[in-house]
Structure 1
Amino acid sequence: MAGSLLHSFATSFSSCSSSSSSRLLLSHSPPSLFLTSFRRSAAVAAPGVRFSRVLSSSSSSSSSSRSPLCYRRGQRRLMAHSIARATLGLTQPNAVDVPKIAFAAKEINAVEWKGDLLAVGVTEKDMAKDESSKFGNSLLKKLDSQLGGLLSEASSEEDFTGKAGQSMVLRLPGLSSKRIGLIGLGQSSSTTFAFRGFGEAFAAAAKSTQANSAAVTLATTDSISNDSKLSTASAIASGTVLGLYEDTRYKSEGKKPVLKSVDFIGLGSGAEIEKKLKYAEDVSTAVIFGKELVNSPANVLTPAVLAEEASKIASTYSDVFTATILDAKKCEELKMGSYLGVAAASANPPHFIHLCYKPSSGPVKTKLALVGKGLTFDSGGYNIKTGAGCSIELMKFDMGGSAAVLGAAKAIGQVKPPGVEVHFIVAACENMISGTGMRPGDVVTASNGKTIEVYTSSFSSLLWNPSFWFIESTVDNLADT
């Protein structure tokens, strides 16, 4: 289960993360610089697994690279990055609530359902009509009969054939629901992708009509197995939550969705499907959390803020999570030279993040580590990203891997899968330009004692070395994103 969650997040962020986020080696450096074997350290083995936080051992240091996560001014608790942020636009994001929807599975007659919007998923085959323009599908035939033939007539006039991406919402007298919507599934509705798209299209219809209560059903459910009905309902629920959410944190507020309840009709009922719907909601809200991270501007989402968000996950799910945040001084003690070299030019200090999930009960059968790239901004350093196609304004996406990993952590904290221990590793920092920055040609010493010659200052792959070294002796399987 934990592994499938990572796949969900990798898919969700593939379109917004930079293409270099999943690479292990430097794109311009020869592989020979990165020796294939990671030598384990006898002195330090997975440090800090059970600590709440690890900060600098020198509390009197005034260096910006050794500042704590937060400090106090009067009675206010302020983030350490607040000083730097004052020179970067004074940006404070609006609070945007993740949609809270009451999902329920019911076995009732869809024609008799009462509410604001009844959405029916239809394939091209479902929309077939006879020579007298009557539907062959039994549910559509009943709905059309209640509407005096207007559903068939409207679908013909609108050229609605059930193709994927098509939708039609009507307000017609004759039904218990205020509106009826037909949403196209294409030639076949057998894939999770198709049903998630159905959920997103349904969410768009619910927003446009300002529906408070809604129901979803499929024109054909007889041929769907019970197991398939569960996965279908889960996919539709996921698409609904993701489709309703709009990231307006840095924009003027628009219309807020008012959808409060969604009934699933004809896809089963009982504890099993209710559990599936809850699972879909938990994972989807965690995906939204990850999207908010990756879409945050770099002047707001600094390495310290990313570390603070990770700490919030651990405190929210403290029954199963612990957090270790290493500051620059601690990373220096652990000889993370390649990581500190990447961060050296930035006024925002690095923060090495380690979350650990352990089930509250039962044996641990396997240990897994998820490692995410945490470069909150990648200017390219002295090899600054310039020229056509460099997309330097999009380099805030270079922390997309860490967003996926922390999103997965949030989902796992909510789902609480048994039998697996999961470690989440993020080496958070910025790659900037200054007199203290690493230069092309410099030689750094990595955590495993190996020296690395830097051919280009666009060296974000140096972050993988300390991340893998930190956790490799602790887990059975390791995945990077």
Structure 2
Amino acid sequence: MNFLAKNCNLKIEKSDCIILAIFETNDFSESAKELDIVSKGYLSKILNYKDFNGNIGESLLLYNVPYVSCRRVLLIGCGKRLYLSTYDYKKILQSFIIVLKKITAKIVLICLTELFVYEQDIYWKIRIIIEHITSVNYFFDEFKSYKKNRPELFKELIINVSTEIDSKIGVMAIKHALAISLGIKAAKNLANTPPNVCTPSYLANQVINLSKQYSKWISHEVINYEKIIKLGMFAYAAVGQGSSNKPLMININYKGKNPINSKPIILIGKGVTFDSGGISIKPSSGLHEMKYDMSGASVVYGIMLILAELQLPLRVIGVLATGENMLGDSSFRPGDIIKTMSGKTVEILDTDAEGRLILCDVLTFVEKFSPELVIDIATLTGACVIALGNIASGLLSNDQLLIQELLEASEITNDKVWNLPMFTEYFKKIKSNIADISNIGGNSAGAITAACFLSKFAKKYRWAHLDIAGTAWTSGKKMSSTGRPILLLMQFLMRRGLTNTNI
């Protein structure tokens, strides 16, 4: 699918289908007014039948409209003219996608950037169009023996804009949207891959290939199980010691041309390719979904791909902290006390609270890079799902300015996060009588106490933790990775890397 933004002359522009906005009470958008004049009032006559009221979700497909160059005219209901949210805008986009799936239209002309969407400018309206189309069009059939023929929605989508300046903005928006969509697709593909295929070594091979593809910008390092132990990362090693697929810590180094940050931004992705819970075994219900416990790593992989595609002038290090949490005669046990890379000792009360054991050692490991800031992304706690559901990811941090930056990125992208507190009282819940700290803090405030645990290993830099346990994938018949929170994190990074633009 090709995308193009241009200022069209609707009187003569040819396409297989033109998409026009109609508001409630059949109030015409500017483009619809123009086409109504060209058709000598034909559109007004059709709407006078009152079969179409302009509500969001409504659509009306017309053929052979008099004097119009386009073969079809698709009218899309857009609700109230001045009350559109980003959510409404996506519902409007979904309406025309449903129609396009039923027809054969190679060239489609869309006139929806003229809609007023709350706090979204032309750049974002174009981004949303492309990102939503690519998201809806995503499928994963790698392991199906019979692959359906899936025709493209269109060959080319022309996005009508009102000025030549908007056309130039559109070029940038399309470039960004396509790169981000590519990274999200790559992240989804990794996360959706079954755990008998997607092992730590599989992820390492994907990174090796990524490094070859973008060798000018990306280098990598794979640290094996033996070296993890040699580095004193005994908490990390303990989680994977019961599996035949031993843990690998995979570092991806991205350095753009003339990076504006001398100290790297570090992204750490939890990459447990299958989490059985270990000795503290999980119930069988939903256990197949534990292949998604590496979603944090898949997100970091996708972001590193996007950075290389866009060649942002940044230094970013991505760490894929991979491993498996399995049962075996060498598995770590409840009651064990393990020494971390930092020197702190941890009492193991629950082997299913394994993500924080991996992350705590990686948080210590990355101190050697003297980072500007560190963000970890992890499917860490079921407690976060209970607290926030599948709507918002949990955000906890030791730095108020970093919290504010991430909240702003969330607001802009609609990739929702919610800031949870780490009051001093919560730290008491993870005290241990026989070690420095325990790996769980009881039955309440689990998402918070998990972050409190991690914060003890992130004292030498600005740090934020994103708990994506509720947002990384959707369950049920249509179970699939969401690719979240790539949109949020890319907005955060692009704000830093594209200082000469207003995005």
Say yes or no: does 1:211 pair with 2:105. yes
Task: Within 5 Å, give how 1:83-102 maps onto structure 2.
Answer: 101-102=1-2
Residue of structure 1 equivalent to 2:139: 246
Say yes or no: does 1:425 pair with 2:322. no
Residue of structure 2 equivalent to 1:98: none
Q: 1:300–1:262: structure 2 CA closer, same or farther, 3 Å change rule?
A: same
- For residue 204 of structure 2, give the secondary structure of its aligned residue in structure 1: helix
How far apart are residue 172 of structure 1 and its match?
Answer: 3.9
- Identify which of 256, 260, 267 aligns with 2:150: 256
Say yes or no: does 1:349 pair with 2:246. yes
Residue of structure 2 equivalent to 1:116: 16
RMSD, aligned CA = 2.8
Task: Within 5 Å, give how 1:79-158 maps onto structure 2.
Answer: 101-122=1-22, 126-129=23-26, 135-144=27-36, 146=39, 149=42, 153=46, 158=51
Residue of structure 1 equivalent to 2:430: none
Contact 2:200 2:248 in 1 (8 A): yes
Contact 2:2 2:155 in 1 (8 A): yes
Contact 1:198 1:236 in 2 (8 A): no
Say yes or no: does 1:480 pair with 2:376. yes
TM-score (norm 2): 0.67
Tell me, in whole angstroms, the C-alpha distance in 1 between the residues paired with 2:310 and 2:139: 24
Contact 2:13 2:69 in 1 (8 A): yes
Tell me, in whole angstroms, the C-alpha distance in 1 between the residues paired with 2:45 and 2:362: 60
Structure 1, unpaired ranges of 5+: 1-100, 130-134
Say yes or no: does 1:412 pair with 2:304. no
Q: 1:162–1:227: structure 2 CA closer, same or farther, 3 Å change rule?
A: closer
- Identify which of 355, 365, 373 aligns with 1:460: 355
Say yes or no: does 1:358 pair with 2:255. yes
- Identify which of 125, 139, 159 aligns with 1:232: 125
Residue of structure 1 equivalent to 2:218: 321
Contact 1:244 1:257 in 2 (8 A): no
How far apart are residue 426 of structure 1 and its match?
Answer: 1.6
- For residue 424 of structure 1, give the secondary structure of its aligned residue in structure 2: strand
Contact 1:143 1:151 in 2 (8 A): no
Tell me, in whole angstroms, the C-alpha distance in 1 between the residues paired with 2:12 and 2:83: 25
Contact 1:200 1:242 in 2 (8 A): no
Please list the CA deviations of residues 16-58 of structure 1 after superposition, one character each: whole Å capped at 9, or x if unmatched: xxxxxxxxxxxxxxxxxxxxxxxxxxxxxxxxxxxxxxxxxxx
Say yes or no: does 1:450 pair with 2:347. no
Please list the CA deviations of residues 336-383 of structure 1 after superposition, one character each: whole Å capped at 9, or x if unmatched: 111111111112121111111111335534521111110111111111
Tell me, in whole angstroms, the C-alpha distance in 2 between the residues paired with 1:257 and 1:275: 27
Say yes or no: does 1:180 pair with 2:62. no
Q: 1:364–1:476: structure 2 CA closer, same or farther, 3 Å change rule?
A: closer
Tell me, in whole angstroms, the C-alpha distance in 2 between the residues paired with 1:317 and 1:200: 34
Task: Within 5 Å, give how 1:272-287 maps onto structure 2.
Answer: 272-287=169-184
Contact 2:86 2:118 in 1 (8 A): no
Tell me, in whole angstroms, the C-alpha distance in 2 between the residues paired with 1:405 and 1:201: 32
The amino acid that maps onto 2:54 is: T
Say yes or no: does 1:171 pair with 2:63. yes
Which one scores higher on RCO, CA 8 angstroms, separation ≥ 6? 1
Q: 1:114–1:344: structure 2 CA closer, same or farther, 3 Å change rule?
A: same
How far apart are residue 192 of structure 1 and its match?
Answer: 4.3
Contact 1:171 1:179 in 2 (8 A): yes
Contact 1:120 1:219 in 2 (8 A): no
Tell me, in whole angstroms, the C-alpha distance in 1 between the residues paired with 2:136 and 2:4: 18
Please list the CA deviations of residues 124-172 of structure 1 after superposition, one character each: whole Å capped at 9, or x if unmatched: xx3424xxxxx55443344346286367636966544232x44443434
How far apart are residue 283 of structure 1 and its match?
Answer: 0.6
Q: 1:317–1:448: structure 2 CA closer, same or farther, 3 Å change rule?
A: same
Contact 2:113 2:161 in 1 (8 A): no
Residue of structure 2 equivalent to 1:62: none
Task: Within 5 Å, give how 1:36-115 maps onto structure 2.
Answer: 101-115=1-15
How far apart are residue 311 of structure 1 and its match?
Answer: 2.2
Contact 2:21 2:29 in 1 (8 A): no
Structure 2, unpaired ranges of 5+: 378-503
- For residue 264 of structure 2, give the secondary structure of its aligned residue in structure 1: strand
How far apart are residue 470 of structure 1 and its match?
Answer: 1.5
The amino acid that maps onto 2:374 is: L
- For residue 362 of structure 2, give the secondary structure of its aligned residue in structure 1: helix
Contact 1:294 1:397 in 2 (8 A): yes
- Identify which of 329, 335, 338 aligns with 1:435: 329
The number of aligned residues is: 368
Percentage identity across aligned positions?
A: 25
Tell me, in whole angstroms, the C-alpha distance in 2 between the residues paired with 1:366 and 1:227: 32
Tell me, in whole angstroms, the C-alpha distance in 2 between the residues paired with 1:314 and 1:151: 57
The amino acid that maps onto 2:111 is: T
The amino acid that maps onto 1:477 is: L
Say yes or no: does 1:162 pair with 2:55. yes
Residue of structure 1 equivalent to 2:494: none
How far apart are residue 197 of structure 1 and its match?
Answer: 4.7
- Identify which of 282, 288, 311 aligns with 1:393: 288
Contact 2:259 2:315 in 1 (8 A): no
Residue of structure 2 equivalent to 1:73: none
Residue of structure 2 equivalent to 1:81: none
